[in-house]
Amino acid sequence: MTDHATAPLLTRAGGPLSREAAEATSAALGEPLWVRQQRLAAWEAFERLPFPAQLRPEEWRRTDISGLDLGALIVPPRRVAAAPPWELLGVTGGAGERAGLVTHVDGQTVARGLGEAAARGGVIFTDLASAAVQHPDLVREHLFSTVANYDDHKFRALHAALWSAGTLLYVPKGVEVTLPLVAQSWLGVPGAALFPHTLLIADQGSQVTLIDIAASAPTDGRTFACGVTELILRQGAQVRYLAFREWGPSTWEVGSLIRAHLERDATLHSLMVALGGALVKVDVESLLAGQGASSEMLGVYFGADRQHIDFHTLQEHRAPHTHSDLLYRGAVKDTARAVFAGLIRVAWGAQKTNAFQANRNLILSEGARSDSIPKLEIMANDLRCTHGSATSRLNEEHIFYLMSRGLTRAQATRMIAEGFFSDVLDRIPQERVRAFLQTRIAEKMGDR
């Protein structure tokens, strides 16, 4: 595989979030007219919509975004493309360990590459702006097709107006990509906003793994992100999707959405990891629309200092004989707070559904807090659904036992935390990903 830089865009000073910024972004990316029209319609929706806390108070009452000043944010300036100042090699590995790589820096695509085997199979893995020009029918059919209601959510309308760091992955019918593909987005401009969009289309009987990484620099000024991921799984497709949030300590991610639409007999294995950022609020949803569809939803989050992490998940069963299994585990320390709200919804006629949901939280400090709200909406009568949550603190007896075997308190608590997350980590087949998460969890534990 050869990674190659894209043609640099013309230098342009960044400006505030505005209709003019949407028009300038569209012009800079050379988009078709229909994309530009979609952007402008989304901006009009953004301007007229209230903040979502006014429309959905229950979803937002545990997360305070009153300190977010959208008027103070800017679109990152477009300049000569440069390589990102980082690479999460612990997750992505070298070129021989992945089938393709797309890299975005400050909203610009700086590199993209695809292995020869995948390219011969007809796989398309590129930036979304180029795809809209080179594969217009494919993009027009699927872009925002799973998020058709973006115009009733202020932040998603803002995203639809200003997205720029976009990635398209299309896997043709029956094609299997054995090595993972990697998309990575980096934000390094203080006071800037990033709107990454991932569109994955897995055609019938295809198989693929996508690792999607979003990260930012530890800047002095606040940065902001609002991303949307659309996962479209056709009949019998098998997809593994791993999303990593490695935001810097001043970044707020608000209103982001990961939504999967599964057709008949499709299988999705998803992993959501949130370890960085000042405030992270993400919705993760699986819509099982076809009979026999199956979704595994895993999550790992760890809040420290004053971090705030908020996940809302949805397992929506629209067809009979569908299966979903959710397991989210999180830890908080110092004065961090975590919020998990998970909903299993079973529609009329979705008989023989099997749906499971479990959320477990570990509190490591007196000032930390974790809220867990599991919910059910059942409209069928022949099914099996379970949901539950548990929140616990460190057990001093367990710590004493480990210390009596020669460990320090820090080593003992780190071992307990590693064991706490093992239920999720053991389900991840990629050894490199497991090792990376174990290392990052140990770093978050610090010297505690």
Segment 255-278, tens digit of pLDDT: 999 999 999 999 999 999 999 999
272 touches 302 (CB < 8 A): no
pLDDT of the residue at 341: 97
CA gap 44, 41 in Å, rounded: 5
pLDDT for residue 447 is more than 60: no
User: Tell me, what's the pLDDT at 147?
Assistant: 94
How many whole angstroms separate alpha carbon 431 and alpha carbon 63? 34
pLDDT for res 396: 84
Distance CA 231, CA 214 (A): 17
Confidence check: pLDDT of 6 > 80: no
Q: How sure is the predictor about 335, in pLDDT bands with cuts at 50, 70 and 90?
A: very high
CB 278 within 8 A of CB 308: yes
Q: pLDDT band for position 81 (50/70/90)? A: low
More confident: 87 or 366: 366
User: For position 415, what pLDDT does the model report?
Assistant: 87
pLDDT exceeds 90 at position 417: no
Give strand pairing partners of 389.
359
Residue range 273-285: mean pLDDT, rounded? 97
State the Cα–Cα distance between residues 117 and 119, nearest whole angstrom. 5
Position 411 scores a pLDDT of 84
* CA dist., res. 131 & res. 126, Å (int): 7
Structural tokens at position 233: 């799984």
Q: Distance of CA 277 to CAs 69, 245, 316, 336, Å?
A: 17, 8, 29, 11
Of residues 406 and 142, more confidence is placed in 142
Q: Looking at the predicted structure, is the pLDDT value of residue 164 above 70?
A: yes
- pLDDT reading at 232 higher than 80: yes
What sign has the CA pseudo-torsion 145, 195, 166, 135? positive
> What is the Cα–Cα distance from 1 to 276, expressed in whole angstroms?
31
pLDDT digits (tens, 9 = 90+) for 117-146: 999 999 999 999 999 999 999 999 999 999
Q: How high does pLDDT run on average in the chain?
A: 92
Q: How high is the pLDDT of residue 217?
A: 87
Q: How far is CA 402 from CA 396, 398, 443, in A?
A: 10, 6, 20
Percentage of the chain with pLDDT > 70?
Answer: 94
- Distance separating alpha carbons of residues 245 and 409, to the nearest angstrom: 29
Helix (H), strand (E) counts: the chain: 12, 21
Nearest CA-CA partner of 183 in 211, 204, 206, 159: 211
* DSSP conformation letters of 224-244: EE--EEEEEE-TT-EEEEEEE
Q: Quick one: tokens of 352?
A: 């023989």
User: Nearest Cα to 149, choosing from 22, 55, 233?
Assistant: 55
Sign of torsion over alpha carbons 142, 147, 148, 151 = negative
Residue 215 scores a pLDDT above 70 = yes
Closest CA to 256 of 184, 150, 341: 150
Residue 12's pLDDT band, with cuts at 50, 70 and 90, is very low
Arithmetic mean of pLDDT, 47-63: 94
**Amino acid 9: pLDDT:** 35
Residues 324-347, mean pLDDT to the nearest whole number = 97
Q: What is the structure's pLDDT at 82?
A: 56
Structure tokens at 216: 């930012």
pLDDT tens, residue by residue, 188-209 = 899 999 999 999 999 999 999 9
Judge whether residue 221 has pLDDT over 90: no
Residue 129: what pLDDT? 95
Residue located via tokens 């013309």 = 10
Structure tokens at 321: 């004989």
pLDDT (mean) for 58-84: 85
**Model confidence pTM above 0.85:** yes
> For the chain, which residues make up each domain, given as ranges?
19-289
Q: Measure the CA–CA gap between 340 and 448, rounded to whole angstroms.
A: 25
Cα distance between residue 125 and residue 169, in whole Å? 5
CB 185 within 8 A of CB 108: no
**Weakest mean pLDDT among 77-91, 180-194, 323-337:** 77-91
Q: Roughly what angle, to the nearest 10 degrees, separates helices 396-404 and 409-425?
A: 110
Confidence of residue 149 (pLDDT cuts 50, 70, 90): confident
Q: Is the dihedral of CA 230, 37, 15, 102 positive or negative?
A: positive
**Is the pLDDT at 15 greater than 70, yes or no?**
yes
Mean pLDDT of the 335-340 span:
98
DSSP 3-state of 274: strand
Selected residue with higher pLDDT from 277 and 417: 277
Q: How far apart are CA 29 and CA 109, in angstroms?
A: 10
